[in-house]
Amino acid sequence: MKLFNSLVFLVVFSSSMNLSAQTKSSVKPAQTIKPPVQMTFENEHLDIGKVKKGEIKKFDFVFTNTGTETIEIDIASGCDCTTLDYPKTPIKVGQKGVIHVTFDSGKKEETEPVDVDIYLKNINPKTGQRILKIVNYKYDLIK
């Protein structure tokens, strides 16, 4: 009887080990799926510091196309105090793009954050709408 119990134990144990080994080898690690349109900015929120009223500051938002398809910017807009120059040609996968910003503090009365809205020609397949990316900057207005 002891021999029979030992034999049953061995069969069950080896079967469970074999099943465990099969399960482990058949499980694949999760793969990261890149979104088709992805703008990765070096910094989405800039602090340009203290600015005297009437002073003009220039700075850039730099991004890389880290998606799987070409990006095309349709329009970039900000408030009346902000002039933007952005790429008018497509940005291919892996390429960098720069949005040049000119901020005229003479058009501001107080410190506040300023949004820069970037509308792409690319369409979000889930919504059927153009893709919108928002970055911003802040400043400390000195009168």
CATH code, domain carrying 134: 2.60.40.10
In a domain, 10, yes or no: no
In a domain, 57, yes or no: yes
In a domain, 19, yes or no: no
Token output for 103: 């901020």
Look at residue 1 in the predicted model and tell me its pLDDT: 52
Q: Read off the amino acid at residue 54.
A: G
Residue 135 exposure: Cα atoms within 13 Å on the Cβ side:
24
User: The dihedral of CA 11, 13, 14, 19: what is its sign?
Assistant: positive
pLDDT in tens, the chain (143 residues): 554 555 444 444 455 545 444 445 455 555 667 678 899 999 999 999 999 999 999 999 999 999 999 999 999 999 999 999 999 999 999 999 999 999 999 999 999 999 999 999 999 988 999 999 999 999 999 98
In a domain, 62, yes or no: yes
What's the domain count of the chain? 1
In a domain, 7, yes or no: no
Which domain does 90 fall in, by range?
Answer: 39-142
